[in-house]
Amino acid sequence: MAGQGISGGIAARGAGGILRALLVVQGLSLAALPVRAEEPAPEPVTRAGYFYTGGRYQKLGDKTVMVGQMFVQSRTPARITQPYPVVMVHGLAQTGVNFLATADGRPGWVQRFVEKGYQVYVVDQVGRGRSGTNPEVYGPYDRLGTRGLEKTYTAPEVYDLFPQAKLHTQWPGGTGVQGNSAFDQFFASQVPFLANGQQTEELVDPALLALLEKIGPAILLTHGQGALFGWAASDARPDLVKAHISVEPNGPPFFDVQFRGGKDFWERSGDGRARAYGLTRMPLTFDPPVKAPEDLAVVQQAKGPDGQIRCWLQADPARTLPNLAKVPTVVVTAEASFHATYDACTAAFLTQAGARPDVIRLADQGLRGNSHMVMLETNSDAVADALAGWLGTRVK
């Protein structure tokens, strides 16, 4: 470099060297230069948000509190390609966490439906989870223990209380009992729930309707207890419910059952009707109208199919459910679930009332070995795909 001087050295360094040398001469540094804007980052795959629906202020002693509010979490794809959003409503003792991811860390149904171009909303029932618990306002709470969950949700094959139980194979990591890592994560997500079932419906029904009125026409995807609110919303606003996917709906119609194993594996639970209006505790729109639950005469089947209970249905002539008949509906049942013993009764009740739901038995689509918590099990994506496939045929 000797004898080149500043200009010779600059030339030898090339364009990058020219810039650095000029900065040195002028007493500047690269850090002092304005940074040239890079190309804009691509829009994220999803956008997340939350809000509350329902709710009112109420005096509680010397405090003013809010009651009846429902937490709603939203996920929006960068490009919405489906005409209606999906609203996911969880079941007993659960929260919307069930739909966010699986207990063994895989993406959940929210992600699967967002990838298919749906905007998705996930709720926490009023009085539960992120919607807020308040025994002073809502009254007594109850909760499920490990044994209760194992028997019917995660490890039915261990207890063998109903004929389909031994078919269960899909829980992540083996058997879904205490000590299984996926079960431990699942149990950690359990929350107390209102002990009064009718009060739960009285609180959640208007909050879910408020959500539909806020976002417009939508698809309801309910699980277990969540079906109660799905039936009520479909009945009250069939114009806003474009379809109802009822995964293992709360049932069977009218009366609860309990399982005891053996040849006579079930019996009716309790003395009175668990769901006075067949599907729900709250009134539905029947034709001819029903002024009181006693107007619905109930008869029990003389014999049920093997491995299933004997259904309670309306006595003839059956009243219809004209609003539910306007909403495309599917009842989805897993092969190894306790619901395999009675979901057919829910479908039969709806059909008798003129609603005529579709039925998806997951085993008929090659999705075998599932129990009640299908959105958490090892083939959860394939189950979501089956539900989306049904939507593709029924929602335009």
3-state secondary structure string across 144-176: CCHHHHHHHHHCHHHHCCCCCHHHCCCCCCCCC
Mean residue pLDDT of the chain comes to: 91
- Domain shared by 173 and 283, yes or no: yes
Quote the Cα angle for 302-332-236, to 5°.
90
| Residue 41 resides in a domain | no
Residue 389 or 45, more confident? 389
| Predicted local confidence at residue 43, as pLDDT | 55
pLDDT digits (tens, 9 = 90+) for 303-317: 888 999 999 999 999
| Predicted local confidence at residue 352, as pLDDT | 98
- The backbone torsions φ and ψ at residue 210, rounded to the nearest 5 degrees and listed phi first, read -60, -35
Are the beta carbons of 253 and 312 closer than 8 angstroms? Answer: yes
Alpha helix ranges (H) inside the chain:
5-26, 97-100, 109-115, 135-138, 146-149, 156-159, 181-188, 197-215, 226-236, 343-352, 380-394
- Domain shared by 206 and 76, yes or no: yes
Taking Cα atoms as reference points, which of 234, 252, 253, 235 lies closest to residue 243? 234
| This prediction's pTM | 0.88
Number of structural domains found in the chain:
2
| Residue 56 resides in a domain | yes
If DSSP codes are grouped into helix, strand and coil, which group holds residue 54?
Answer: strand
- Domain shared by 322 and 215, yes or no: yes
| 302: containing domain | 47-394
Mean pLDDT of 189-211: 97
- Domain shared by 232 and 275, yes or no: yes
Q: Partners of 268 in the beta sheet?
A: 257
Q: Distance of CA 90 to CAs 267, 304, 391, Å?
A: 26, 29, 19
- Domain shared by 133 and 22, yes or no: no
| Residue 42 resides in a domain | no
- Domain shared by 136 and 239, yes or no: yes
- Domain shared by 10 and 124, yes or no: no
| Predicted local confidence at residue 87, as pLDDT | 99
Residue 44 banded pLDDT, cuts 50, 70, 90: low
Are the beta carbons of 207 and 229 closer than 8 angstroms? Answer: no
| Predicted local confidence at residue 46, as pLDDT | 78
Residue 194 banded pLDDT, cuts 50, 70, 90: very high
| Residue 66 resides in a domain | yes
- Domain shared by 28 and 55, yes or no: no
pLDDT digits (tens, 9 = 90+) for 55-84: 999 999 999 999 999 999 999 999 999 999
| Predicted local confidence at residue 151, as pLDDT | 97
| Residue 15 resides in a domain | yes
| Residue 138 resides in a domain | yes
Residue 21 banded pLDDT, cuts 50, 70, 90: very low
| Predicted local confidence at residue 396, as pLDDT | 82
| Predicted local confidence at residue 38, as pLDDT | 63
Q: What percent of the chain has pLDDT over 90?
A: 86
Q: Is 203 exposed, middle or buried (0-12, 13-18, 19+ CB in 10 A)?
A: buried
Residue 41 or 183, more confident? 183
- Domain shared by 31 and 60, yes or no: no
| Predicted local confidence at residue 4, as pLDDT | 41
pLDDT digits (tens, 9 = 90+) for 235-286: 999 999 999 999 999 999 999 999 999 999 999 998 899 999 999 999 999 9
Residue 212 banded pLDDT, cuts 50, 70, 90: very high
| Residue 71 resides in a domain | yes
In this predicted structure, the answer to whether residue 22 has a pLDDT above a threshold of 60 is no
- Domain shared by 113 and 2, yes or no: no
| Residue 310 resides in a domain | yes
- Domain shared by 221 and 272, yes or no: yes
Q: What percent of the chain has pLDDT over 70?
A: 89
CATH number at residue 59: 3.40.50.1820
| Predicted local confidence at residue 215, as pLDDT | 98
- Domain shared by 69 and 1, yes or no: no
What single-letter amino acid sits at 83?
A: P
- The two three-digit tokens of residue 260, written as one number: 């005891």
Residue 14 banded pLDDT, cuts 50, 70, 90: very low
Residue 40 banded pLDDT, cuts 50, 70, 90: low
In this predicted structure, the answer to whether residue 96 has a pLDDT above a threshold of 80 is yes
